Amino acid sequence: MMLRNLQSNFCFLLLLVSIQCLLVIVFGTDHYRRADFPPGFVFGAGTSAYQVEGAASEDGRTPSIWDTFAHAGFSGGANGDIACDLYHKYKEDVQLMVDTGLEAYRFSISWSRLIPGGRGPVNPKGLQFYNNYIDELISHGIQPHVTLFHILVSGHQIRLTSVVEFAIDFRKDFTAYAEVCFKEFGDRVMYWTTINEANIFAIGGYDNGITPPGRCSPPFGVYCSRGNSSTEPYIVVHNMLLAHSSAMKLYRRNYKSTQHGFVGFNIYGFWCVPYTNSGDDVNAAERANEFYTGWIMNPLIFGDYPSVMKKAAGTRIPTFSKYEAKLVKGSVDFIGLNHYTTASVKDRSSSIEKNTRDFGADIEADISLEALAADQYPVIPSGLYEFLEYLKEAYGNPPIYIQENGQKTRRNGTLNDAARINYLHAYIGSVLDAVRNGSDARGYSAWSFLDGLELLGGYGPSYGLYYVDLDDKELRRYPKLSAYWYANFLKGKSSITSAASK
């Protein structure tokens, strides 16, 4: 029944596209074209290794902390053992990228596939897979944008006696892993993102414990059995920044002059707005943006954490030595930005009075994140525009690649995802507005190319331009309406949206 419904939907996709074009003639005033973006601006889509690759125990790959987390039942009871089986179907998927007109494709390398156990010899079969994968993209004119760390640190590395010990070893291991990637793939890969969503990785994994590796302490986390929510998030981000800057120093010293690539760092970008116009709420929203964004951006641009964070966290936030500050400052060629929704913020200054505090209490604010749990995100494109303006004004307008932006729906088999079209149309338009106002945004990557495994929701939520039929042993891919919309836009036609967003 599912496959029959998919085939029926497929037959009227083009009709729906035609209908939407007519609707735009009547209702639309905000259309734009691919050519409206400046020369060099690149459009693509993305996935990450564990969400789509599958072959989790094939050809020498070892478990990562996400494998362990999923098999413990925390990813909606699902796991990435098979996922979309991109490991075996990558040529088919690259052809779909060509059909869609992608100019770039962002993906991550599975550290534990390339270097099982996180350190030691390179796995030749893992190396061969990523070489083949990159070559396939290049041969079809698609830029590979590679992320080195997307939660996939190995289980062996995380099983150390303290987070401090892990963090120090992580710097060394990550630099060695990065060097393998630069050396083996850097002749073809020009765009490297070292670490994905360091801010959310630290909060989810080391404060409230809801993401890998699941460390936390009462009363802040859930199901806490190990960890310290008051200190570990700060320690983890500190050492991720140092690991990144170590890899960047290596790249600039050994590879930049011959490979001419670019190395960046990714943040998860909530845009926080005040719940009311009161001075307290306005200040609280500014404080929240300093904590979520300035936590990463300030060290990378200025060499130290925001003063508001240092004042709130005190000795719980590590201090950069003079050498470390010099290493971290200026250690990015670009910033990767993942943005999905906007959060409203209320002041809660009383939280600072608690004897035991974590990152959330240090902000002294209530941040509304109900949109993250909804079946769909509200469409608030002003949030992305304002975020880009903030980065421009506060941090000297660094080059920005929007690496994840997309709409969540339920994975129910329908290919008519008009809500995703409305979302993409609005947010891409906001990027164009920001670029026209001077933002140095240089690329946009829709999340995601395929329906894959989601960290918390398993295969329940859907973000993909392409549906993957998990009930079909061939795991066939089917283009959704959004895939046609994106393809039409990338191939030069005027953007279209449905009347539902008007």
Please return the burial class of 159, using the count of CB atoms within 10 Å of its CB with bins 0-12, 13-18 and 19+.
exposed
CB under 8 Å, gap of 24 or more: what pairs does 129-133 form?
Answer: 129/59, 129/87, 130/184, 130/185, 131/184, 131/185, 132/90, 133/90, 133/107
CA dihedral 475, 476, 481, 487 (to 10 degrees): 110
Task: Render pLDDT for 282-306 as a digit per residue (tens, 0 to 9).
Answer: 999 999 999 999 999 999 999 999 9
Indicate the DSSP class of residue 347.
E
CA-to-CA separations, 201 to 63, 65, 234, in angstroms, rounded: 18, 12, 11
The answer for residues whose C-beta is within 8 angstroms of residue 198's C-beta and 6 or more apart is 236, 237, 240, 241, 265, 266, 267, 296
pLDDT tens digits, one per residue of 328-387: 999 999 999 999 999 999 999 875 566 789 999 999 999 987 767 778 999 999 999 999
pLDDT at 184 over 90: yes
Extended strands (E) in 5-156: 42-46, 104-108, 143-149
pLDDT given at position 164: 59
Catalytic residues: 197, 404
Tell me how far apart the alpha carbons of residues 79 and 453 are, in angstroms, rounded to a whole number: 7
Using the 8-state DSSP alphabet, how is residue 291 labeled?
I
Tell me how crowded residue 70 is: count the other CB atoms within 10 A of its CB.
24
Q: How far apart are CA 430 and CA 370, in angstroms?
A: 23
CATH number for 42-491 (one of 3.40.50.620, 3.20.20.210, 3.20.20.80, 3.90.1150.10): it is 3.20.20.80
Would you kindly state where each structural domain of the chain is located, as residue ranges?
42-491
Backbone angles phi, psi at 439, to 5 degrees: -65, 140
- The band of 118, judged by pLDDT with boundaries at 50, 70 and 90, is confident
Residue 24 scores a pLDDT above 50: no
